[in-house]
Chains A and B, each alone.
Chain A
């Protein structure tokens, strides 16, 4: 009788432990799956082009210098039609753009500083020609 009770208790204990083990394993698997999904999501966002905060900031900075560069250097073909004041303003804008380009990565800096130099050079050349013409 006592022996039967002992085995019954042991049986219930084993069943309890098995159930606990299954629950724990399930929870661990769920946690692992969620962790994996979370990590995969984090990696996938930049990979598919989703903007992180710093990337968006960098994009905005890049966008602003490039827009200014395009605006300033778009006028080279018309340089001869500008007044001295307008030319001086364009030169000033080129000068203020230079330090912004200097902060860019090496390749971008190399290319765009050269382009800016050419563009500024032309405005300065036309301004000089106009000043001499006036004398």
Chain B
């Protein structure tokens, strides 16, 4: 027959076990929550992907500007805008405002009311003579029916991939011909000589290697867009690139996950990996 002290001991050990299990559960939940942070966020609709909202002066001006990357990337290389025009890769780092546009910089570098592109004169950005309807073409946040181009109609004939437009195929097939030189703005350069593609071995055996197209990246970006700011060293093995840093917006994540195809599209880099992880 069990004594009362034995029963008390049993209860204590049961309570201890329960507490231990609860602690384990909490730790497991905490681990899962932290792991969730490091998973790529689900990508938005392709029409919303790469959307930039410029709202620094929205309280005093004609409202926030909505810039869709899909429209301009079908016409220009990344390099033209981010190197020659000088748009920074980080939000609010360019210092763009109406007066820089009027003086022929930033948006005004092309949108000056004089430059002709694809047979059309580009409208002047932030011109004093502009009427409300013209301002609304860019200052369009929260305004319906003011944009000239809509994603669905604009990209209707573009080849599609696993996620929206497949820009690489679009360029290869000649559907788009991104311009890499703008008169009066770009510097004339000789064609690049070093364009070798290479494979990047993953840190773990269970991860498929990356087939990195240096050629594709250098044609669209030039050299100075990626080096040294995004990829600070050329020596192999000195920097440990990981998906964690990509998800945080560093290295490949400076573009992929923001404008270039999302990080969920594993196959985009790891060619033998599953196609899409939502």
Residues of chain A whose beta carbon lies under 8 Å from any beta carbon of chain B: 69-70, 73-81, 105, 107-108, 110-112, 114-115, 118-119, 121-122, 124-126, 128-129, 132-133
Contacts and interface: CB of A to CB of B under 8 A. Distances in A.
Contact of A70 (B88, B188, B224): B188
B228 A77 contact: no
Given A73-B187, A107-B99, A110-B100, A118 B224 contact: yes
Contact of B189 (A74, A108, A115): A74
A122 B235 contact: no
B234 A121 contact: no
Interface of B: 83-86, 88, 95, 99-100, 103, 105-106, 187-194, 222-225, 227-229, 232-235
B105 A107 contact: yes
B192 A121 contact: no
A118 B188 contact: no
A125 B227 contact: yes
Chain A residues touching B, majority SS? helix
Contacts of A124: 228
Contacts of A110: 86, 95, 100, 105
B84 A76 contact: no
A60 B22 CA distance: 77
Given A70-B187, A73-B187, A81 B223 contact: no
Contacts of B88: 114
Nearest to A114: B86
Contact of B224 (A76, A81, A128, A129): A76
Nearest to B97: A107
A4 to B, nearest CB: 74
B190 A78 contact: yes
A108 B194 CA distance: 32
A79 B235 contact: no
14 contacts: A73-B187, A75-B189, A76-B189, A76-B223, A76-B224, A80-B194, A110-B86, A111-B105, A115-B84, A118-B224, A121-B224, A125-B227, A125-B234, A126-B234
Nearest to A79: B223
Contacts of B95: 110
A29 B106 CA distance: 51
Contacts of B105: 107-108, 110-111
B108 to A, nearest CB: 9
B228 A125 contact: yes
A78 B192 contact: yes
B131 to A, nearest CB: 24
Given A74-B190, A81-B194, A105-B103, 9 more contacts: A75-B189, A79-B223, A107-B99, A108-B103, A108-B105, A111-B85, A121-B224, A125-B232, A129-B233
What are the nearest 10 A-B pairs in CB distance? Answer: A129-B234, A125-B228, A77-B192, A122-B224, A118-B224, A111-B86, A107-B100, A80-B194, A107-B103, A74-B187
Given A110-B105, A129-B233, A80 B86 contact: no
B100 to A, nearest CB: 5
